[in-house]
């Protein structure tokens, strides 16, 4: 479940809970709040999983680039052999084959370097993204828990004052109770 959706549920719980008369305080169902906090904790690993998927895509790009480079090199070698075999002037054909092979090697090397640069950049971006998401999730969780602690403290103080008030009243006599 998306963390933002969980935040919306927590906000909805705070705004729809019963209000304490004469105050701006609300009574919040502790089970519901703790359930939402647990769901938030479970939602954080999904963000990490998304970062891992980005890393896997990076690996796929590198592997595909290496395969393309090998294919180009193999194609150039095959083409070079074909030209040598078909040509009447072996020396010219050999020169062209060597030239094509060198060009293919340069292109393959360039593709590999480009793939490695892209992979490195993707890996850095994925790591930065994952770090940011984790930091945001931790910051949000901490803020939510602080707010929850504050709200629960207010509710507990209100309950304590009510109990203190009731303890100070004289007991109801038996005549009043039977009437």
Give the mean model confidence (pLDDT) for residues 161-175: 76
Judge whether residue 112 has pLDDT over 70.
yes
The residues, ordered by sequence, that sit 6+ positions from 29 with a Cβ below 8 Å of its Cβ are 13, 17
- The model carries a pTM of 0.33
* Burial state string for 66-81 with b = 16 or more CB within 10 A and e = fewer than 16: eeebeebbeebeeebe
Phi, psi of 28 (to 5 degrees): -115, 135
Q: Which whole number is the average pLDDT over 6-20?
A: 87
The residue assigned the tokens 């060198």 is 102
Percent of the chain with pLDDT over 90: 35
Q: How far apart are the first and last CA of the chain?
A: 56
The three-state secondary structure class of 26 is strand
Cα 87 to Cα 83: distance, rounded to the nearest angstrom:
6
The percentage of the chain sitting over the pLDDT mark of 70, rounded to a whole number, equals: 91
Q: Is the dihedral of CA 101, 105, 111, 114 positive or negative?
A: negative
- For the ranges 15-19, 34-38, 79-83, 89-93, which has the lowest average pLDDT? 89-93
Tokens of 171: 């007991």
Query: Domains (ranges, CATH) in the chain?
Result: 3-163 (1.10.287)
pLDDT reported for residue 47? 65
């Amino acid at each position: 479940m998306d963390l933002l959706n969980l935040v919306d549920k927590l906000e909805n719980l705070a705004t729809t809970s019963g209000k304490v008369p004469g105050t701006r305080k609300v009574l919040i169902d502790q089970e519901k709040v703790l359930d939402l906090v647990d769901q938030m904790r479970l939602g954080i690993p999904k963000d990490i999983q998304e970062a891992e998927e980005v890393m896997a895509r990076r690996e796929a790009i590198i592997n595909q680039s290496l395969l393309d480079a090998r294919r180009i090199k193999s194609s150039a070698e095959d083409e070079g052999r074909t030209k040598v075999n078909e040509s009447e002037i072996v020396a010219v054909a050999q020169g062209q084959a060597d030239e094509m092979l060198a060009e293919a090697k340069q292109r393959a090397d360039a593709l590999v370097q480009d793939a490695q640069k892209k992979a490195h950049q993707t890996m850095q971006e994925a790591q930065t993204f994952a770090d940011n998401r984790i930091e945001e999730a931790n910051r949000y969780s901490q803020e939510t828990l602080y707010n929850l602690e504050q709200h629960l403290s207010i509710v507990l103080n209100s309950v304590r004052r009510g109990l203190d008030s009731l303890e100070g009243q004289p007991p109801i006599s038996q005549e009043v109770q039977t009437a």
